[in-house]
Amino acid sequence: MKFVSTRDKKTWVSGQQAIVQGISEEGGLFVPECFPRLMPLGELLNLSYQELAYEILSLYFEDLGETSLQMAVDAAYDEKFPTEVVPMHSIGNSTFLELFHGRTLAFKDMALSILPHLMKASAEGLGEEREIIVLVATSGDTGKAALEGFSGAKGIEVSVFYPDGGVSEMQRLQMVTTQGENTYVCGIRGNFDDAQTGVKKIFADPSFTQELMQKGYILSSANSINIGRLIPQIVYYVYGYLQLLKEEKIKGGEKIHVCVPTGNFGNVLAAYYAKEMGLPLDRLIVASNDNRVLTDFFSEGIYDGDRPLYLTSSPSMDILISSNLERFIYHSSNEDAQAVMDAMDSLKQNRRFDWQSQIKDPSIYAYMADEVAVSESIRELYLEHGYVMDPHTAVAYSAVQQYRSETGDSAQILIASTASPFKFAGKVLKSIGHEVPQDEFKAVEDLAQLMEIPVPTAVQELLELEERHRDLCQPEEMEEMLCKKYLRGTND
Ligand SMILES: *Cc1c(COP(=O)(O)O)cnc(C)c1O
């Protein structure tokens, strides 16, 4: 299996290289040259999550070798997760795929628990002796999941930039209390798009990367632009389908829909990959919050990121430049790398591009949920079914309601449930109509009482940890902060 660049099909690398490098030299993203076929579902039906992960990953990352891949899977999906790695909760024909039972209580753990192991094995396989600096821009959840995943990893440093004031208090605390000698966290006075643009700029600055190399460092990425994050996300869609089959909620071969709350389009793209591999998925329902840039793109064919960014109660989706859409437009345009290149140039220069002339994918449905719809969805679901969801998942749930009422379709829908409600306790309590205590930890306790479950240890721990990372900078200063840290060693 080769991985080609979305902007130049002649540029290709091995799986190991794609993981270590993160992004192609001319700025494109790596994609598999073709989609491997999934094994017959009957053969996969009784596999554990770990076994299934191994089977799917081995279709893409052959060059890692069986032993390394097996070790990566075992190290990733161990007791960090409950026995059931991905619990599911059905309400009628809608099933929540709970992807938030990892260490940091968001779905990012599903991929970031394994990426460090894939990266280490790949670097070894390539004979790479330099130290890898993993650069991360985060809208809230990727940062902590990467810090947690990479913390203590030998030969890898991880540096995270988050928008100061643009993440929830729980998300901020999770990041700034991170331990581990190889971790660095810095807030930027800007939004997520500024952080993401800053990271991309650093990757594209040859003089800086040269200087790092002389010091024995190379850069890589843990954002969903890294193919090593995307592929592990395919696993849970296959797993979810198989569970529905086992529980006889669907029949063999029956097509279901998937609904995913979206920011960078990574999670929903993984569902698209699963479908291309032969999983019987029909429609992909793309759910956005007030930052409805993808809703508009799928209805009008024009991507327009030139608009104000709203800070919502689903901060991990407060994004205007959706990185993984590049992979989707590449695949869905019959791999027209030139058109992708032109679109991305236009996006860089004008924050927009026109995709109207390309064939539309009729299986994509896109909806948005504003803040009122989010609160109402949380409240309704709790009052009617006693089930509590976080605001990101609520965006998806609202999209499902809109889809059903618009189409009258009652087919089974798998909803990607992306964060634990405990990460957003205040918002959840408020939506339900509960009084919201000033103190976030008190809110967490109130929520635990309401849900009749204990406070997750990952949240409890934060109370006792010291805030270790206090750096803040302007978006233009990100490179300077890294210089201080890695080239001159003057940061704390
Ligand atoms: C990152 C994130 C999303 C958006 O996922 P993308 O892959 O960027 O589309 C949704 N919900 C939560 C809780 C997240 O952390």
- Considering the chain, what percentage of its residues have pLDDT values greater than 90? 86
Alpha-carbon distance of 413 to 135, in angstroms, equals: 35
Categorise residue 455: left if φ over 0, alpha if ψ from -120 to 50, beta otherwise. Answer: beta
* pLDDT given at position 176: 96
Alpha-carbon distance of 463 to 172, in angstroms, equals: 13
Residue in this structure with the two tokens 């798998």, named with its chain if needed? 414
* pLDDT given at position 490: 59
Considering 80, 108, 251, 423, which one is annotated as catalytic? 108
* pLDDT given at position 492: 45
Amino acid identity for residue 150 in this structure = F
Residue in this structure with the two tokens 């596999």, named with its chain if needed? 47
Task: List, for residues 408-448, the tens digit of each pLDDT value.
Answer: 999 999 999 999 999 999 999 999 999 999 988 899 999 99
**Distance in Å, CA 332 to ligand 1 centroid:** 22
Q: Return the ligand 1 atom nearest residue 140 CA.
A: 15
**Distance in Å, CA 206 to ligand 1 centroid:** 30
Alpha-carbon distance of 28 to 233, in angstroms, equals: 20
The answer to whether residue 160 scores a pLDDT higher than 90 is yes
Amino acid identity for residue 233 in this structure = Q
Can you read off the two tokens belonging to residue 88? 């599911």
Distances (CA, A) of 119 to 36, 232, 323: 22, 13, 21
210 φ/ψ angles, rounded to the nearest 5 degrees: -60, -45
Non-local (6+) Cβ contacts of 367 within 8 A are 285, 286, 287, 288, 295, 398, 399, 402, 403
Strand, coil or helix: 381: helix
Alpha-carbon distance of 261 to 269, in angstroms, equals: 11
Task: List, for residues 107-159, the tens digit of each pLDDT value.
Answer: 999 999 999 999 999 999 999 999 999 999 998 889 999 999 998 888 899 99
Judge whether 108 counts as a catalytic residue: yes
Cα torsion through 185, 187, 192, 196, rounded to 10: -50
Cβ of 262 below 6 Å from ligand 1: yes
Q: Return the ligand 1 atom nearest residue 418 CA.
A: 13
Global pTM reads 0.94
Distances (CA, A) of 7 to 40, 52, 170, 341: 33, 31, 38, 5
